Amino acid sequence: MDLNEHRGLLPVVCACVVLVVGLVAAVNLAVPMLAASALHPSAATLVWIVDTYVIVFACLVIPGGAAGDRFGRKGVLLAGLGLVAAGALLSAVAPDVVLLLAGRALTGLGAAAVLPNSLAVLLHAVPAHRKPATIATWASMTGIGGVVGNVGGGVVLAGGSWRWLFAAAVPVALVEAALVARIAPVSARHDRRLDPVAAVLLVGASVALLVGIVQGPEAGWGSAVVVIGFAAAAVLFTAWVLRELKSEHPLLDPRLFRISGLRSACLGMTAVFFGMFALFYVNASFLQYAKGFGVLGTGLGIIPLTVPIILGGRHAGPLSRRIGLDTTVALAFAFVGGGLLGLSTSDIQTPYAVYAAWLVVTGIGVTLALPTLSGVIAGSLPPSQAGVGTGLQATTREFGSALGVAVIGTVLTAKFAEALPSEARGAHTVAEAVARAGHAPDVVTAFVSGADAGLRVVGIAVLVLGAFVVAESRVSRRAG
């Protein structure tokens, strides 16, 4: 079988990936609009509006791949695109926060079905000698999806309503579904047992962890909701591990993390996306509130981050072979963490050119990290577990993204409330505070203070995690 028999399959599948990944990035641009909307979301609720999609996506992407093996990859891919359309439609028309969150969760469920099965459908249609190049093209779409999400989201939101962002995803998902139905081949099914209990435990544990992080500033770190959230996360993660250890066919075998190279690379991937999506979350509001950019300009404003990824991605592999894996990873984290710390020095007077230069620095780190860490994950597993490796990469990326949004949103909220002038106290969000104070410079300064504090915390965390990843890699290599 060859792609020549299924003309147009590669671009259609790539478009599916761009859609589900782009939705992760695009919603950050809508945060100021959502904050000022009639829904009146609190700061914590804004984080959940962003993170609900991401966390469901992250936790169910491996079960989504297993469902494709069991019920047919083309069918599950089509079902996923249908769920994306339905969830986006529900989000677009949601009259309140509860239904908006439900729509986001439904969209995340669809995305978890789309991502792994898009690759599976594609690989079924190509001969063995073309599979590496096909996988590379598919993987590059995860980076391009972030760019398309920011730029495309900016174009759509320039119309003036956050609802249009979700509405625009509906026809795109339906058109992609129609093309997949017409072009994609049907692959064989495998009798792979699904374990919905394990999937529910993993989602529940992840949500409980984020509840503890996100609700801390509002409810207090010693409050019942926060303590119960962290305790429930520990109990549910433990229950998930025990269930997977006892399963004959675990969705994600915890024993894989005994492989030190795999373990450190997964942590590294999580840390990179932790930093990158924390930046996406703050960048959208910073450029609009502090720099006065419109929503389209904000979408375009993140492009300097992607320039190194687009231009330098193919050079990361040769560089790693020349200077060594550990040195490449160390440089990657130095650039990502250093770039975030540089961005944390930005204020209202900082020229955009300086801000853009720090985005480029961060982008260089991402360019070095992603192909290097992806290669380690893939190389740590036998060919028979290639699907597990793909699922692990997707899971670590999306979980890191959700955690980054949660942490930086929490730090920003706490610091913003502390620095807020008295006339704006009591406002739940930046938009409300600005409105109450008549767009007072003190309020914008308070926001910038919160954003800078958040970027500093995330930048330091990335550097610390990077040092740990490199240290563990060196120790394991010496032991081996």
In whole angstroms, give the CA distance from residue 85 to residue 101: 15
Question: What pLDDT shows up at residue 328?
Answer: 92
Closest to 119 (Cα-Cα) out of 7, 12, 23, 13:
13
What CA–CA distances, in Å, run from 32 to 276, 338, 431? 19, 27, 7
Q: Are 112 and 203 in contact (CB under 8 A)?
A: no
The pLDDT profile of the chain, 480 residues, written as one tens digit per residue, is: 455 555 688 899 989 999 999 998 899 888 888 988 888 888 788 888 988 998 889 888 888 887 887 788 899 999 999 999 999 999 999 999 999 999 999 999 999 999 888 888 887 777 777 777 777 677 777 767 887 888 899 999 988 899 999 999 999 999 999 999 998 887 766 666 778 888 889 888 888 888 888 777 667 778 898 899 999 999 999 999 999 898 877 877 888 888 878 888 899 999 999 999 899 889 888 898 888 888 889 889 988 988 888 787 778 778 888 998 889 999 999 999 999 999 999 988 999 999 999 999 999 999 898 888 888 887 777 765 666 677 788 888 888 888 888 889 888 888 887 877 666 555 555 556 554 544 567 788 888 999 999 999 999 999 999 999 999 888 777 765
Question: What pLDDT shows up at residue 235?
Answer: 96
The CATH code that applies to domain 1-188 is 1.20.1250.20
In whole angstroms, give the CA distance from residue 343 to residue 408: 14
Closest to 182 (Cα-Cα) out of 81, 95, 60, 332:
81
Q: Are 104 and 87 in contact (CB under 8 A)?
A: yes
In whole angstroms, give the CA distance from residue 408 to residue 278: 6
Following CA atoms 29, 35, 36, 40 in sequence, which dihedral angle do they give, to the nearest 10 degrees?
150
Question: What pLDDT shows up at residue 439?
Answer: 55
Question: What pLDDT shows up at residue 383?
Answer: 63
Closest to 277 (Cα-Cα) out of 392, 475, 145, 431:
145
What CA–CA distances, in Å, run from 436 to 36, 295, 427? 12, 22, 8
Q: Are 335 and 359 in contact (CB under 8 A)?
A: no
In words, the CATH class of domain 256-480 is: mainly alpha
What CA–CA distances, in Å, run from 103 to 18, 86, 122, 391? 19, 8, 28, 24
What CA–CA distances, in Å, run from 270 to 116, 139, 384? 18, 16, 24
Residue 182 in tokens = 């017409």
Residue 222 in tokens = 């010693």
In whole angstroms, give the CA distance from residue 384 to residue 256: 14
Residue 416 in tokens = 């913003």
Question: What pLDDT shows up at residue 15?
Answer: 93
In whole angstroms, give the CA distance from residue 217 to residue 358: 29
In whole angstroms, give the CA distance from residue 435 to residue 448: 16
pTM: 0.84
Q: Are 406 and 47 in contact (CB under 8 A)?
A: yes
In whole angstroms, give the CA distance from residue 382 to residue 35: 47
Which three-class secondary structure string do you get for 174-215?
HHHHHHHHHHCCCCCCCCCCCCHHHHHHHHHHHHHHHHHHHH
